Amino acid sequence: MDLARRSFHHQTLLLFSLICLSHVSGTQFSFPRLGALRRTIRNRPEAESESISSVSKDFKTLFYSQTLDHFNYKPESFTRFPQRYVINSKYWGGPNTSSPILVYFGAEESLDYDLFGIGFLRDNAPRFKALQVYIEHRFYGKSVPFGSMEEALRNASIRGYFTSAQAIADYAAVILHIKKTLSAKDSPVIVIGGSYGGMLAAWFRLKYPHVALGALASSAPILYFDDLAPQVGYYAIVTKDFKETSESCYETIRKSWDEIDKVASEFNGLSILSKRFKTCKKLKRSFDLKDYLDSIYSEVAQYDYPPTYPLNIVCHGIDGAPKGTDTLGRIVAGVVAYMGNKSCYDMEEFNHPTDETYMGWRWQTCSEMVMPIGHEHSASMFPPSPFNLNKFIRKCKSLFGVQPRPHWVTTYYGGHDLKLILHRFGSNIIFSNGLRDPYSSGGVLENISESVVAVYTVNGSHCLDLLPEMKTDPPWLIKQRKTEVQIIKSWILKYYTDLIEFRDRT
């Protein structure tokens, strides 16, 4: 019997387990978050000056009656739920011109901020005379079957439909619906995604080549599964980024973990740490503080956007502390520099148990998106904490009653011998990366064929190419975007040539 039919006691117990997930015993640090945009909305000052209302006035929000289950014919499979998508036709040439459609794949969060924070479609729509489409991922934002995320995850049957395969099938259905509704049968579709959304875009091109002409997969770590990429790759790049920014900052952080444990072991040590770091709640264990700091360092390395460069902000705070400040005092100064001078700091801020993205992504990682990321590098500035699959499985089974499938992504989408597979069967995919992005350690960094190409920058960070164009953008970022646009343009021109040729044959 599914959980929706069980007693209230059992429903409450599962929800309680979800809320308490971050307090499960063990030393596995939280997974670094994916997401095309930085968690904090203090992204880029210049972009923030543009009001959301001025951007959204050209957008039209619609809802598609989506099929719950695309792959079965059980009675419940035909259940429908409203899936949100947004269109902007301001620059579209219209169906009579076969003008292209640029489709952004929403990922593990609400679509709301993507309309404002993702600039690639908005900036390039005039160049392509393109229709802009943004589709929300099922189970996020306003596209949650049967009510709230909390309710959906509580029900064992409902959350079983929360998969990436169902999500990209959703995207196919919405795209075909839009093309039919707008009489845009001959309009070529380019799908675009960042991070997890970038993986979805690449996989979509492989699974639905008849729907999408091409895909831009930005910062998509599609090789970070099934030990295809080194488990320590992510944190090795975080360490490298800090070391290159400031050797003294790197050394301070590296020494700080032992200092935290040393203070914690003293009489009333957790109270001392709570007071020094101004934690909103008294620490119950030193690991929670370390996990919080780990999340800050991961975020600033991953989303080290110009012109502010958050990693510099943290290190300037650490290095700029008054002379004579001890190690932990310097770490506190780094936190304040980045997070702002707050009355207190919430140790759950990066992984809050009631946050929609946290809840949803926790389920996705506990089912199919198992990315074995760990700390286990001799030169790392982080304490050792290798990924332990057995421990991870036990946590997921205790939380959701399911056993993760760590090999399913590579089975369903490919992974082993991916370069050979893409060379033989793939086409029209751009894998874009910035090498300062820790997730680039699981990305495709070399050309595989003439049309499956890698475009990367040495100085780039996570999904930077998808952010709005700015006057302060460095030349290497401008060049990266220009290269991507030229490649997409070549795909579309080839498509138009093929369209004319095949029309003449009929």
Give SS3 for 429.
Answer: strand
430 bridge partner residues: 216, 453
Q: Can 437 be counted among the known catalytic residues?
A: yes
Give SS3 for 87.
Answer: strand
DSSP state, residue 487: H
- Amino acid (one-letter) located at 368: E
Query: Which residue in the list 164, 195, 219, 432 is annotated as catalytic?
Result: 195
Tokens for 419, please give them. 């370069």
- Amino acid (one-letter) located at 299: E
Segment (H or E) for 452? strand 452-457
Do 195 and 163 meet the contact criterion of CB atoms below 8 Å apart? no
Query: Which residue in the list 241, 291, 437, 473 is annotated as catalytic?
Result: 437
Alpha-carbon 401 to chain mean position:
25
Provide long-range contacts, Cβ within 8 A and 24+ apart, for 271-280: 276/328, 276/329, 276/332, 277/332, 277/335, 277/345, 278/342, 278/343, 278/344, 278/345, 279/344, 279/345, 279/346, 279/347, 280/344, 280/345, 280/346, 280/347
Nearest alpha carbon to residue 64 among 117, 108, 98, 111? 111
DSSP alpha helix (H) spans, 182-307: 196-207, 233-245, 247-264, 269-276, 286-302
Do 77 and 99 meet the contact criterion of CB atoms below 8 Å apart? no
| Residue where the block lists tokens 């953008």 | 473
Q: Which residues are catalytic?
A: 195, 437, 462
